Every structure is written in structure tokens, then in C-alpha cells.
Amino acid sequence: MKRRDFIKKTAMISSSLYLPGLLTMAQAPKGDLVVKVEGDSPYEITKRAIKELGGMEKFISKQDIVMVKPNIGWNREIEQAACTNPDVVRAIVEQALNAGAKKVIVMDNPCHKAEDTYSRSGIKDAAQKAGAEVRFPDENRLVVHDFKGQRITQWPVFKDFLDVDKVINVPILKHHGSAGITIGMKNLYGILGGNRGKLHRDMGQGIADLGYGFKSHLNIVDAYRILVRNGPIGGRISDVELRKTVIASTNIMEADVVAVNVFGAAPEQYDFLRAAFERKMGQMDISKINLKSIKI
Amino acid sequence: MKAKTGKHIQKARIIAQVIFTFLFFYLLLSAGRAGAGAESFTYTDYFFYFDPLLLVLNFIATSKILPLFLLSLVPLVLTFVLGRFFCGWVCPFGAVNQFFSWLFKKSKKEKKGVDKKLLKLKYIMLILVVISALVGSHYGGWLDPFSLLTRSVTTIVNPSVNYLLEESLKKGAEDEGIVAKGLKPFYNFSRKNILTVKQRAYDQTFIIGGIFFFLLFLNLYKRRFFCNYLCPLGALYGLAAKFSLFNLKPDEKCISCKACARNCTYNGSPFEDYMKSECVVCFNCVGDCPTDAIAASLKAPRKENRTSVDIDLGRRKVMGSIVFGLCLGALPKIASPVRSRLHRFLRPPGAVPEKEFLKKCIRCGECMQICPTNFIQPALFETGMEGVWTPVLNAQTGYCEYTCNKCTRVCPTKAIAPLELKEKQKFKMGTAVVDRGRCYTYADGYNCAVCEEHCPIPEKAIRFREVPTWNFEGKQVNVKQIYVIPDLCTGCGICENVCPRTDAPGIQMSAEEEQREELTF
């Protein structure tokens, strides 16, 4: 073989080895994966959604302390769809413990009395049975956290949420009087203490600030039973509709956008999504989202 | 009777006291810890049904007898046989006083002998309470031992114990170290069994607590001061015990050593100044007798052999007390708040119309203890002079939980009538009124709607409409302005409770369209 041939062939072989790599680079970069799973059992669809995202092991390292933050805001029953479905919480706690988490804590700062909301929502029982520690909010544990936002800069936050290794945000999708809709970013109001009512002014900005300034490692939106009117507290069964869906993603805003789609509304109509979009937290257009829909 | 037997009975008495006191505290405290749910039931009101004074007062107030209060005839009838056993063996406040008397024993410089003058005081109290009730004013709850103890435990003992446990145990349990490891189980236990998640606070803590501790410290001056000299229920039992079969008498073995006077609850003795009406059957004297000389029997001696001394108020004191009682009864009725056309307070759900309420309520604070959100507070003078310590609603400290009707189920005298949960959810305590000068959506022109969000009525008694208005910068904006639908609003007060304004709320509870008054007018 001549020297020239040798160089030619080597170049061709080595470049052909690079080819697949080059091809993928040529494709547009895809955003975070959002998984939407529909099915009859809230427990099964949650498990499936986590599996499709790559399994809980992808998010949780061995010996991690994990905080699961459902919406336990109101003294209402499961059928009234004001709090996260306990089966969804149970599935997440189980998965986290199976993935090797040292401890899983379930906590929220509710609007009603914590003792009541925790037990009436069914979350206390479900979480404890799955092996989680159910913790009540304690005002002595408030510390100031800087969200570096526009509306919310410094605000008291329960230390419990900052001291853990991973946070899994588990909101319920429902109608909300002043914000229009409440999903993942709004759910983070539950880590706050202080006079939270004050934050209802320019609420859209405030919600985006929370999603921006507080890192939740995984977001799993419960849209199994949703309140379509008179949220966030509801109470009437006629205001509740079945969607039998769970949405999971690491991107809090895109999970919210997909949830808005499940709710049957346009993302642009909500202040908080517009504010989050401006902050480049994710895509507003659902067709641009890396979405994987599954039915079981 | 042998002194040894006396000692045994004495021990049995102490055990009984401990059991009844424990039961009382257990029922009361567990009631306060139970969740808001209508599911959980409590028997905390049952102690009151064994109180004949309340039977009498309630009968005077309503000319009816609540069937459960017939239970109080059991101890009353037994008193005709056993004497004032109730005071000595059962009454939890008696036991508390006895405990403190025992505690103060060593430091006490108590005068020996019966204070006959002071003993008369409780009979005067009984007359005052009954006569003023006949005129229509209720003072019984101020002095009734169950009401007094329940009220004091609710407003001062329980919250302060809760605070101290939480502060001391919690801090210790959170550090890393040996102390923490030791404290953690205690903390977890008290968290599980004693503490409430949210610290409670009550309006009249200082006054009610002050009176309570003053009464306890009076035991320094004389043992079981309240029981001997103030308790109207004790006086009622005393009247019955006068005719009781139970009798103590020293027999021929007596050496007149007066050992029996040493520990007598009312400072008398079977040897000297034996008073059946004051004896609480504690058996201290029998246990103390060195010669086994005191005979206890259930056979009242013949008239000529009687040793018991009666307390005789005398015609003058009785007449004086009656006149004083009449004045006391009339006094609140001519005090101004009752005559005011406006009233600025609200009563718990199910409360009967005001006039009837004041007569029925025994100011025990049972409803305050059981209210899961700390909504019900003791009044001072806002409901009139008569209304001291009656329950009023304070939306700054709590709100009426939509899924709860517990206060309507614990009221011993049904001043708060029992309501099914569904009835309670419709019961109109009052109406919320938007203060447009304060509400952010009107005054400052920006969105808020925290009250709308919290309104528990499924149809929403608080709504908003988008209205073009001027905001605090003078710009024209669309704002979701709040309004109340009075027909749907029940006056639960959560809107006022959560209003984010820091000085005075932009939406307030008012007694407007209060359901209970509608019934009478």
C-alpha cells in the first residue's frame, strides 16, 4: 500500500467512525423529556411515567435524603380533588426508597390545619405505609431563602426543603381562582412560610420566580382527578373531572405546559407561564416540547 | 374502726381521686387534640352531667331538664347515704386542690380549728348563684368547679404546657448529641400524645389564669380553700350531706388527743366541731387515730345522740344574700352592652339566641378546647357584663373549619345546639363584609383574591369580577375585585383569617343576618 492510500483510507475509516456522531450533532438539540401517561390506576401510571423518564435511579443517588412535596393544602377528600392523589405519592415514595434513598420525607405547608389536611387527604396514611416520614411544618424551622426573582426575592422557606439532597415536586392539576390554574410551579408555594397571601399580588411573576429560584429535581403532576371549576379548594363533586393522567419531567415549566394542555386550555393565557417563558425556563409551544405520550 | 382500715380507705380514696382526675384531663385534652373531623367523638362533656348544681341552674334558665343531667341525681342521692363523698373522692378540682394543699403542707402556718364564719361563705355563694339565676343572670359557671377547671385548663394550663414541652423538648431533641438521644423519645411521645401542632392562644389567659392560680395559692392559707369556702356545688352537697346516714363518732377508746384534727379536710374533727355538711369522707381522721377510737357507720344516730354541728347562716345572712343576689341578677341587665342595638360579636355555630344563650352557657370553655383552629375565644365584656368568658368567635386567631361540627356536640347545656355536619355547613353565624377602603382589590387596585381562594362554600360565597379601575400608581388596569354573596356566606371567618393585610383585614365578619337571632325576631 502506498503512503497516500494509507492516509486516504485511514482518514475515511476514522471519519466514518465519527459519522453517526456528526449526524446527531446536526439534528436540533432536544429539550428535557416530558412523559405523559394515561391509564386507569394512578399508582401504575405514576410508576410507568418514572420508568419512561429513565427510572428513579437516574434522579436519586444511593443514600440521598429525598423530599416529596405533594399538594396537601386543603382539608378535603380524595374525590374532591383538592390535594394530590395519595396513590401517586405512594408510588413515588416506594420508587425513591427502591432506588436507594436513605430517607423520604413528605411535607407541605397547607392552608388549612396540617393535622387535618394530612390525614383527610389520605396522604399521611399512604406515605407512612410506603415508608416515608410525614413531617408537619414547624414555623421555628423557617429560614430566609433568596429566589433571585422579580416579584419574590427573599422569603422565609422551611429549612426542611433546603436541607435535603433531592426534591420531588408532586402537584395536583386544578383550577385556581386568582392564578387561573395551579400546577407544578404554583405548588412550590407550599415550601414558603410567612404571610403568603401577600404574594397574590402579581402572582404570575411570583409563581415563575418560585420555579426559577428553587430547584426541584423531578416534577410529577397528578392529573388523575382534576378540579375544573371553583379551585383551588373546590368541594363539589360536580366540579371534578377524570383525566386519568400523570405528567413527569425534570423541567418544571414544560410539565406545566403539558398539564395545561391536559386541562384543555392554552398556555399563553396564564401569566405565570408567560413570565416563565420570558425567563427561558422552557418551551411554551407544546409542539416544541420533547413529549412522549403513553396509554396503558 | 381500726386505724389500719382507715388508712386503707384513705388510700382507696386517693386512688379514686387520681383516676377521676386523670379521666377528666384525658377526656378534655384528647378532645383538644382530635382532628377537625366530624368522625371523632368525645365524651368530654360527660363530667358535667354529674353536676347537680348545673341541673338546678339549667332548670331555672330553661324550665326544662336535659335528660342527661338526670345523671347528676346519682351522686346527689348517694350523698344522702354517704355524705359529701363526691367532693372527697370524685371531684377533679377537689383533687387538684387537695394535691396543692398537700404540697403546701410543710410551709403552711395554718390556724387550727374550724373557721365557721368562712365556711358560711360557700352557702352564701350558692344562694347568690341560684337567686341571680332566678332573675335571669347566670353566674354559676364562674364558680362551678367543673366549669372553672375546664376553662382554666383550656385557656392556660394546656397552652402553656404545650409551649413548654415544645420549646424545651424540641430544642433538645434537634441537637445532635447524648442529650438529644435521650430527649427524642420523650419528644416523639409528647408530639404523638400531648402536643398540638399549632400552639393555641386565648384572649383571657391572664385573667382566667390569674384567678386559677390565685385559687390554688389560697390553699397555702387554708387547706382545700375553694372546696371548703367557695364552691357552690360543695354547698349544695353540704345541704344534702347534713341528712346523710354516714356518721363519724369517737367511741369510749378516745383519749382526747385530737390527732384526728390534724389532717381533717375542713379543719374540724369527729371529736370536736364534727360537721356532716363539711365532712368529705376522706377518712384521714380514722387513719390518724392512735387508739382506733373513731367509729364510722352508715347509721345516723338518734337526735339526742347527735354530735354533728350544723352551719346556720342565720336569717339575717340568708335575707341579705337573697337581696344581694337579686341585685347581682339585675345588674347585667341594666348594663349598656345588652341594650345596644348593634352587636359586634359572633357566637359559635348552633348557638341559641343570645338571651337564651346567656342563661344556658356555663362558661366552661369546652367549645374553646375542642375547636381545632382556635377560633372560639372567651369573651370579656364585649358581649355585656354577663357574657364574661362566654364563647365568641375571633377570626384573627382561627376560623370555622368547614368539615367540623365538634363544638356543637360537646356543649353540656346545649347553649350550642347539636348540629349534624350538613346542618352546620349551612348554619349562618354571620356574614363577611368587604371593607372597600382596605381590600387590596379596591383600595390599591391589584389582584389578591386570597379570601376567594379559601372560601370553603362549594358554590363560592366570595367571588370576583374583572373591573377596570385605577391602581395605586394612577394607571387604569383590570382588577379582579372581590364581592360577597350574603345568602351563601355562613360567616366561617376564614376570609378574614387569611386576608394578607397586616393591620386590619379588608374583609371582616359581622353579625349581619345571623341565623340564631332570626329565630326570635
Claim to verify: residue A92 and residue A233 sit in the same structural domain = yes
Distance of alpha carbon B147 from alpha carbon B415, whole angstroms: 14
> A-B interface: how many C-beta pairs under 8 angstroms?
86
Q: pLDDT digits over B127-173, tens only?
A: 999 999 998 888 888 999 999 999 999 999 888 888 888 777 777 67
- Average pLDDT of chain B to the nearest whole number: 87
Residues pairing with A154 in the sheet: A146
CATH of residue A257's domain is 3.40.50.11440
b/e A30-40 (16+ beta carbons within 10 angstroms → b): eebbbbbbbbe
**Average pLDDT for B470-487:** 91
Q: CB contact, 8 Å: A159 with chain B?
A: no
**Domain assignment of residue B400, yes or no:** no
Q: Do B447 and A203 touch (CB under 8 A)?
A: yes
**Domain assignment of residue B403, yes or no:** no
Claim to verify: residue A230 and residue A115 sit in the same structural domain = yes
**Average pLDDT for A215-235:** 91
User: For chain A, how many structural domains are there in total?
Assistant: 2
Distance of alpha carbon B107 from alpha carbon B428, whole angstroms: 55
Please give the pLDDT value at position B336: 60
B49 confidence band (pLDDT: 50, 70, 90): very high
* Nearest neighbour of A201 by CB, restricted to B448, B454, B502: B448
End-to-end CA distance of chain B: 65
Claim to verify: residue A51 and residue A95 sit in the same structural domain = yes
Give one word for A21, left, alpha or beta, with left for phi > 0 and alpha for psi -120 to 50.
alpha
Claim to verify: residue A104 and residue A226 sit in the same structural domain = yes
Distance of alpha carbon B192 from alpha carbon B183, whole angstroms: 14
Claim to verify: residue A10 and residue A77 sit in the same structural domain = no
> Distance, in angstroms, between B475 CA and closest chain A CA?
15
**Domain assignment of residue B469, yes or no:** yes
**Domain assignment of residue B163, yes or no:** yes
Q: B446: nearest CA in chain A?
A: A201
Q: Do A119 and B36 touch (CB under 8 A)?
A: no
Please give the pLDDT value at position B151: 94
Claim to verify: residue A14 and residue A151 sit in the same structural domain = no
Q: Does the bond joining A232 to the residue before it have cis omega, within 30 degrees of 0?
A: yes
- Residue where a domain stops, chosen among B296, B324, B346: B346
Claim to verify: residue B119 and residue B237 sit in the same structural domain = yes
Claim to verify: residue A1 and residue A87 sit in the same structural domain = no
Q: pLDDT digits over B326-351, tens only?
A: 999 888 888 765 556 667 889 999 99
Claim to verify: residue A149 and residue A9 sit in the same structural domain = no
Claim to verify: residue B335 and residue B463 sit in the same structural domain = no
Claim to verify: residue A182 and residue A50 sit in the same structural domain = yes
Claim to verify: residue B32 and residue B140 sit in the same structural domain = yes
Do strands B247-250 and A290-295 pair parallel, antiparallel, or not at all (unpaired)?
unpaired
Q: Do B401 and A113 touch (CB under 8 A)?
A: yes
Q: pLDDT digits over A183-197, tens only?
A: 999 999 999 998 888
Claim to verify: residue A74 and residue A161 sit in the same structural domain = yes
**Domain assignment of residue B96, yes or no:** yes
Q: Do A176 and B453 touch (CB under 8 A)?
A: yes
Claim to verify: residue B220 and residue B110 sit in the same structural domain = yes
Q: CB contact, 8 Å: A181 with chain B?
A: no
Q: Do A201 and B447 touch (CB under 8 A)?
A: yes
* Nearest neighbour of B500 by CB, restricted to A120, A197, A236: A197
Q: pLDDT digits over B73-89, tens only?
A: 999 999 999 999 999 99
Q: A77: nearest CA in chain B?
A: B403
Residue range of the domain that includes A208: 31-295
CATH of residue B476's domain is 3.30.70.20
Three-state DSSP state, B467:
strand
Give the DSSP letter string of A227-286: E-SSTTT---GGGEEEEEEEEEES-HHHHHHHHHHHHT--GGG-HHHHHHHHTTSS-SSG
Instruction: Tell me how crowded residue A287 is: count the other CB atoms within 10 A of its CB.
Output: 6
Residues pairing with B478 in the sheet: B468
Which amino acid is located at B263 in the chain? N
User: For chain B, how many structural domains are there in total?
Assistant: 2
Q: Give the whole-number percent of chain B exceeding pLDDT 70.
A: 92
**Domain assignment of residue B63, yes or no:** no
Q: pLDDT digits over B362-411, tens only?
A: 999 999 988 888 899 999 888 888 889 999 999 999 999 998 888 888 89
> Is residue A265 exposed (0-12), middle (13-18) or buried (19+ Cβ within 10 Å)?
middle
Q: pLDDT digits over B282-316, tens only?
A: 999 999 889 988 888 888 777 777 777 888 888 99
Residue range of the domain that includes B501: 428-521
**Domain assignment of residue B282, yes or no:** yes
Do strands A172-176 and A218-227 pair parallel, antiparallel, or not at all (unpaired)?
parallel
Claim to verify: residue B201 and residue B322 sit in the same structural domain = yes
- Residue where a domain stops, chosen among B307, B327, B346: B346
A17 confidence band (pLDDT: 50, 70, 90): low
Claim to verify: residue A2 and residue A117 sit in the same structural domain = no
Q: Tell me which residues of chain A, numbers 200 to 219, contact chain B at a CB-CB cutoff of 8 Å.
A: 200-203
Q: Do B454 and A116 touch (CB under 8 A)?
A: no
Q: Which residues of B have a CB under 8 Å from any CB of A?
A: 35-37, 170, 196-198, 372-373, 401-403, 440, 446-450, 452-460, 464, 480, 498-500, 502
Strands (E), A28-179: 33-38, 65-70, 103-106, 133-134, 142-146, 154-158, 166-170, 172-176
Instruction: Tell me how crowded residue B442 is: count the other CB atoms within 10 A of its CB.
Output: 18
Claim to verify: residue B336 and residue B476 sit in the same structural domain = no
Task: Output DSSP code: residue B447.
Answer: -
Q: A237: nearest CA in chain B?
A: B458
Q: pLDDT digits over A257-279, tens only?
A: 999 999 999 999 999 999 999 98
- Residue where a domain stops, chosen among B346, B370, B387: B346
> Distance, in angstroms, between A283 CA and closest chain B CA?
27
Claim to verify: residue B304 and residue B436 sit in the same structural domain = no
Please give the pLDDT value at position A210: 92
